[in-house]
Structure 1
Amino acid sequence: MKKLIKNGVVVTAADQYEADVLIEDGKIAAIGKNFSENVDEIIDAKGAYLFPGGIDPHTHLEMPFGGTVTADDFETGTIAAAYGGTTTVIDFCLTDKGVPLKNSIQKWHDKSKDKAVIDYGFHLMVSEVNENVLNELPTIIEEDGITSFKVFMAYKNQFMADDETLFRTLLTAKEHGALVMVHAENGDVVDFLVKKALAEGNTDPIYHALTRPPEAEGEATGRAAALTGLADSQLYVVHVSCADAVEKIEAARKKGLHVYGETCPQYLVLDQSYLEKPNFEGAKYVWSPPLREKWNQDVLWNALKSGQLQTLGSDQCSFNFKGQKDLGKGDFSKIPNGGPIIEDRFSLFFSEGVKKGRISINQFVDIVSTRIAKLFGLFPQKGTIAVGSDADIVIFDPNAERTISADTHHMNVDYNAFEGMKVTGEPISVLSRGEFVIRDKAFVGNPGSGQYLKRKRFERATAATAQKVLQ
């Protein structure tokens, strides 16, 4: 079936131009003007931008944590993502020590089967390194197409790995073409500070932030970067929240190290004061790293603009306020960490970034799609509008105005972290591999239509060619 999107403005990480886009068999077949061939459907995109579908590199769907499970699974989470302009997610597959990694991967396939409405891939958590793990990793890269490994430097006695595990994972990644991701906080220090706060009777949500200071994030980021240089490997620091971490990433990149950084919309627009909301409302904003003092926001925006941070993930990890977040009443350390972000990542970043002049429209595309595709082995199949690429296209009205609210969002959760915030710019229709998932702001997709993506090995040259700075 052939579709033709007419009268739109194509925007990529490098270009912006008026053109029509011809879609055939799920791919972009041609880009140009005045097509004469017969098509099955003409889609008028007058007044709209045509963006490549957003790629969210950081989601936790149906993930167990803190005695409960995230409220959004692969169906509700990917439907919400599609409403928000995201057509690909990469979810974190958790593992258990002593259990074959393949078993964990199969568990994640079981979670996603017949549910996802957009395409998806997996990152793989590495919590220990031994001969069994070292033998499995190359096979997983080759057979499963999982080319990114997550190491937690936080959550002591739960997810946290030691420095030897991180270093040996970095060495393996260098040898076999994978990208190592880290949650960078000093887990030992955080654990001590949490216990101290509780012993002193400090139990409110604000102490989640006060026991996870920015220095702990900066120290862990610098340590991970140093180990990356020692291993001559490659590192991706997830959910960077503060100036301390940005400084360490910038210093590493100035040395020529292959270190990349991701931030999230919550750190760009929310701040630590939200955790002080009365009546336990602050629990809605408990995630890790925590929200920071407001002045860090300018540092993060400038790092995105200058290219010292390269991507925007959501860290989607939704828990209901009632029945989940309130497990931590009287003990902030028991509040499930995470928030519902997946639906608003794309449009909020456009509104706060492009519309307010903080970044260019080309940088917007690069940060929410193209650079992610290049770092995680999906380019040029994903991440751009080009002949031969998947027809993952967002028809986007740059002037539509809306107010974010739990009353109108599509996530399976009882609150919205950005409640009441007004944004300009909204996805109108979203196509995944040439088929509408969202049409005229209504869901028309099918659970199970999303395909699992086997990703290519990490290549330094490919990662480096994404747009860096476009004023």
Structure 2
Amino acid sequence: MRKIIKNGVIVTATDMYEADVLIEGEKIAAIGRHFEEAGAEIVDAAGCYIFPGGIDPHTHLDMPFGGTVTKDDFQTGTIAAAFGGTTTIIDFCLTNKGEPLKKAIDTWHQKAKDKAVIDYGFHLMISEINDDVLEQLPNVIEEEGITSFKVFMAYKNVFQADDGTLYRTLVAAKELGALVMVHAENGDVIDYLTKKALEDGNTDPIYHALTRPPEVEGEATGRACQLTALAHSQLYVVHVSCAQAVEQIAKARDKGWNVWGETCPQYLVLDQSYLEKPDFEGAKYVWSPPLREKWHQEVLWNALKNGQLQTLGSDQCSFDFKGQKELGRGDFTKIPNGGPMIEDRVSILFSEGVKKGRITLNQFVDIVSTRSAKLFGLFPKKGTIAVGSDADLVIFDPNIERVISAKTHHMAVDYNAFEGMKVTGEPVSVLVRGEFVVRDKTFVGKPGHGQFIKRNKYGKQTVPKQGSLSI
């Protein structure tokens, strides 16, 4: 059925104007006024913004870690994402050394099959580089449509790759048209510091932060940037949490190196003191990189404003406090790393960013949607409101006030990291490829509606089918 969204204010990364949106099937057919309404479903967006659907470039759903598995899978996780205004996620596909890459990819497809309510893609973890892996990478890009690779510089003896693996991945990515992502922390130094802390009897959650100081993130970020320049390649630094890492990314970009940076909502509004909560409550806030001292927050906000950081990922990786986070009682290194962030990513950036004057509305859209679409081969199919683009749309009321709470969120996890935080602005209705997933703050979607999206190579864009634009 044709749909017409009327009376809203369209906001993209570059424009803001009043117009109606005509949807035919899965696509935006026209943008303008006075469309023929006969036979069309009319959606009134009066008093609301119409944003392109959010793109979360960093999620971990149904992921094994630390002897357990994340609480939210592709069904609960994507439902929560939709309520938060996100219509596409890119999840991380873990690999095992010595196994075919396609086996890992097929495993992740099975995790998402018949569960996702929004669209999704995959990043592929690179744990080793050898002739066999290099032979498989062209097929991963061309046939599987996976055009981004992640290398961990941390989690020694679990995920961590050495510098040679990172460098060879960068070289291969340059040749093949892929974007390399890094978790930038010096895993060797962290390994030493954590062992020393345990030897000294320091086992509480706060020592997770104290053994992963900002210097180890800054050092690893700088090293990754240097290797990227040496390889003449492209780099995306995930979950930037501190001034030291921002400084390295800014230096690299000033030199013209092809380096991009992502931060996360938790680093913008929470700080290291949360890990000191009594009765082991601090375990709720254990993730990597850790929360930093509060002063880092303003550095991150400024970096988003001035373009030194470009995107906001959730790093969704939820574990229940009871039964999962509690695995680390008496040993902070056994606390599963991660938190529940997917649902509140968009609202927090709007409330703390736009409403408080830290960023503009256009910057907000760019950060939560458009820039990720461009970097990860989704634009302009995703990430904008244009004729021919997918009808992934968020009708957003900028004036609704609410209090974030586990009692009202849609994630499966038993706590909310932002519990009690007041925010202004909330998605009211969310469409994915022209179909409502959330309507008037009620879930109306269907597990399995979400499609896997094969993505274009880094720097490549497709031209959407043209229609009419009449403002």
* Structure 2 counterpart of 1:417: 417
How do 1:71-150 and structure 2 match up within 5 A? 71-150=71-150
User: Residue 417 of structure 1: SS of its match in structure 2?
Assistant: coil
Q: 1:40 deviation in Å?
A: 2.3
Q: Which runs of 5+ in 1 are unaligned?
A: 463-471
Give the Cα–Cα distance (whole angstroms) in 1 for the partners of residues 114 and 40 of structure 2.
28
Please state if 1:180 is matched with 2:191. no
Give the Cα–Cα distance (whole angstroms) in 1 for the partners of residues 403 and 448 of structure 2.
30
Give the Cα–Cα distance (whole angstroms) in 2 for the partners of residues 448 and 106 of structure 1.
16
Give the Cα–Cα distance (whole angstroms) in 2 for the partners of residues 165 and 134 of structure 1.
11
Q: Would the aligned equivalents of 2:396 and 2:425 in 1 still touch at CA under 8 Å?
A: yes
* Structure 1 counterpart of 2:59: 59
Give the Cα–Cα distance (whole angstroms) in 2 for the partners of residues 265 and 363 of structure 1.
15
Work out the number of aligned pairs and report it. 462
Q: Which runs of 4+ in 1 moved over 6 A?
A: none
* Structure 2 counterpart of 1:8: 8
Q: 1:459 deviation in Å?
A: 1.1
Please state if 1:69 is matched with 2:69. yes
Give the Cα–Cα distance (whole angstroms) in 1 for the partners of residues 16 and 137 of structure 2.
41
Give the Cα–Cα distance (whole angstroms) in 2 for the partners of residues 24 and 347 of structure 1.
28
User: Residue 244 of structure 2: SS of its match in structure 1?
Assistant: helix
CA RMSD of aligned residues (A): 0.9
* Structure 1 counterpart of 2:466: none
Give the residue type in structure 2 aligned to 1:353: G
Q: Would the aligned equivalents of 1:4 and 1:39 in 2 still touch at CA under 8 Å?
A: no
Give the residue type in structure 2 aligned to 1:135: E
How do 1:170-249 and structure 2 match up within 5 A? 170-249=170-249
Give the Cα–Cα distance (whole angstroms) in 1 for the partners of residues 37 and 243 of structure 2.
54
Q: Deviations over 1:295-314 (max 9, x none)?
A: 00000000000000000000
Give the residue type in structure 2 aligned to 1:160: Q
TM-score in terms of structure 1 length: 0.97
Give the Cα–Cα distance (whole angstroms) in 2 for the partners of residues 172 and 342 of structure 1.
31
Give the Cα–Cα distance (whole angstroms) in 2 for the partners of residues 405 and 461 of structure 1.
39
Q: Deviations over 1:389-436 (max 9, x none)?
A: 000000000000000000000000000000000000000000000000
Give the Cα–Cα distance (whole angstroms) in 1 for the partners of residues 47 and 262 of structure 2.
31
Give the Cα–Cα distance (whole angstroms) in 2 for the partners of residues 444 and 188 of structure 1.
47
Q: Which runs of 5+ in 2 are unaligned?
A: 463-471
* Structure 2 counterpart of 1:389: 389
Q: 1:37 deviation in Å?
A: 5.1
Q: Would the aligned equivalents of 2:301 and 2:358 in 1 still touch at CA under 8 Å?
A: yes
* Structure 2 counterpart of 1:426: 426
Q: Deviations over 1:259-296 (max 9, x none)?
A: 00000000000000000000000000000000000000
* Structure 2 counterpart of 1:468: none
TM-score in terms of structure 2 length: 0.97
Give the Cα–Cα distance (whole angstroms) in 2 for the partners of residues 247 and 348 of structure 1.
24
* Structure 2 counterpart of 1:362: 362
Give the Cα–Cα distance (whole angstroms) in 2 for the partners of residues 48 and 196 of structure 1.
54
* Structure 1 counterpart of 2:400: 400
Q: Would the aligned equivalents of 1:241 and 1:289 in 2 still touch at CA under 8 Å?
A: yes
* Structure 2 counterpart of 1:163: 163
* Structure 2 counterpart of 1:152: 152
Give the Cα–Cα distance (whole angstroms) in 1 for the partners of residues 321 and 456 of structure 2.
39
Give the Cα–Cα distance (whole angstroms) in 2 for the partners of residues 72 and 9 of structure 1.
33
* Structure 2 counterpart of 1:340: 340
Q: 1:461 deviation in Å?
A: 9.3
Q: 1:38 deviation in Å?
A: 2.8
Give the residue type in structure 2 aligned to 1:212: R
User: Residue 408 of structure 2: SS of its match in structure 1?
Assistant: coil
* Structure 1 counterpart of 2:469: none
Q: 1:35 deviation in Å?
A: 1.2
